[in-house]
Amino acid sequence: MYDQCIMMISNVSSLFLLFLSAVTIFSSSSSAFQIHNRWHHKITVASCSPSSLPAVKVWLEEAEKGFVDEDENLMTGEICLRAVKAFASNSDDDDDETSKQRFLCAGALVQRPGSNICDVWMADSSLDEANIQLQGAVLVLDDLFGFHLKRSNACDLENLVSNFIVQCGRIESEYHCASYMSARFRGFRPLKDLWRLLEDSESGVLSCESSYKYVQGLSEEDEDPDAMMFDVHNGLEKYNSRDLSSHDALSIMNILQRVSASTSTIMRMNQTESVLE
């Protein structure tokens, strides 16, 4: 299984090898088919009321020093800006969480060489409790997305999100199910979908208000079509959801809404000036 996974990721950053090692240590193996079926069930369970979620504690920790090794896990010129892990307690008794903790998911925010583009590399362990694993993956994504937004100096919403790409595989992948679902849950969409929407907007199928020009700078030849980017036109409402809310989620929502409102104001002013001219 491990050799097969290595073959599958031969064309991506060596950082992902770190996550494969982590999930191999912290989890037991199961087939991609079994996990794929679990996640179809997960979609139904996640839509239930909060009382349906298991009574366990899920939390986030900053990864230990050396978790992302500059020499072994990063390509030349890459910079790891932040790395975090999500854990869950084993039972309702959280008194000794360090001895009972279960590893759920890991993520790292990595800046590309000579570029403002940052990739979030995520991978998860293999657990039977999909609800808990999704909670952990959402915490990881929220933390890294929030960290990125706070350090960005972009003045408009599209530039704010266009250099943040989530590398979380597909739902069929054994080590990406929770990571993939967390990105979809938070309003991210595969680049291949955004490229299609860009074509629709340019051809007039979509209104100009739904333009997806912010993905123009990403080449289909250089990027993984399954990598995800935030959908600025449909993703904001995802952070308004009460499901799996957190401090980071509220912070992200506030930043996105503030920048979106500022962008709308600037657009209206430009339109007014054009009419006056």
**Mean pLDDT, rounded, for 166-176:** 83
pLDDT on residue 208: 52
- Alpha carbon 49 to its chain centroid, in Å, reads 24
The DSSP bridge pattern shows strands 228-230 and 188-190 to be antiparallel
pLDDT on residue 103: 92
| CB 74 within 8 Å of CB 18 | no
Report the distance separating Cα 90 and Cα 84, nearest Å. Answer: 20
Tokens found for residue 16: 């992902």
pLDDT for 35 beyond 60 = no
| CB 167 within 8 Å of CB 179 | no
pLDDT tens digits, one per residue of 180-201: 999 999 999 999 999 998 887 7
Tokens found for residue 76: 């030349």
For the chain, give percent helix, strand, coil, nearest 5.
45, 15, 40
pLDDT for 15 beyond 90 = no
Q: How far is CA 73 from CA 2, 112, 114, 221, in A?
A: 17, 13, 18, 24
- Amino acid at site 212: Y
pLDDT on residue 140: 97
**Mean pLDDT, rounded, for 161-184:** 89
pLDDT on residue 10: 37
* CB contact set of 142 (below 8 Å; sequence gap of 6+): 186, 246, 248, 249, 252
- Amino acid at site 125: S
pLDDT on residue 265: 60
The DSSP bridge pattern shows strands 164-167 and 118-124 to be parallel
Average per-residue pLDDT for the chain? 75
What angle, rounded to 10 degrees, do the helices at 130-151 and 177-185 form? 60
Q: How far is CA 12 from CA 177, 232, 275, in A?
A: 18, 26, 49
**Mean pLDDT, rounded, for 161-171:** 91
pLDDT for 54 beyond 70 = no
**Mean pLDDT, rounded, for 213-241:** 87
Would you kindly state where each structural domain of the chain is located, as residue ranges? 2-276
Find where tokens 């090692």 sit: 21
pLDDT for 269 beyond 50 = yes
Q: Which residue has the higher pLDDT, 270 or 1?
A: 270
pLDDT tens digits, one per residue of 76-111: 999 999 999 999 998 655 455 455 789 999 999 999
pLDDT for 113 beyond 90 = yes
**Of the given ranges (36-45, 114-123, 130-139, 220-229), which has the lowest mean pLDDT?**
36-45
pLDDT for 267 beyond 70 = no
**Mean pLDDT, rounded, for 165-186:** 88
Tokens found for residue 231: 């959908």
| CB 67 within 8 Å of CB 18 | yes
Report the distance separating Cα 177 and Cα 168, nearest Å. Answer: 8
Q: Which residue has the higher pLDDT, 151 or 131?
A: 151
| CB 179 within 8 Å of CB 124 | yes
Q: Where are the beta strands (DSSP E) in 27-160?
A: 58-62, 79-88, 102-111, 118-124
pLDDT on residue 170: 82
pLDDT on residue 21: 53
| CB 79 within 8 Å of CB 111 | yes
pLDDT for 127 beyond 50 = yes
Closest CA to 122 of 79, 66, 82: 82
Cβ–Cβ contacts within 10 Å for residue 159, how many? 15
pLDDT for 207 beyond 70 = no
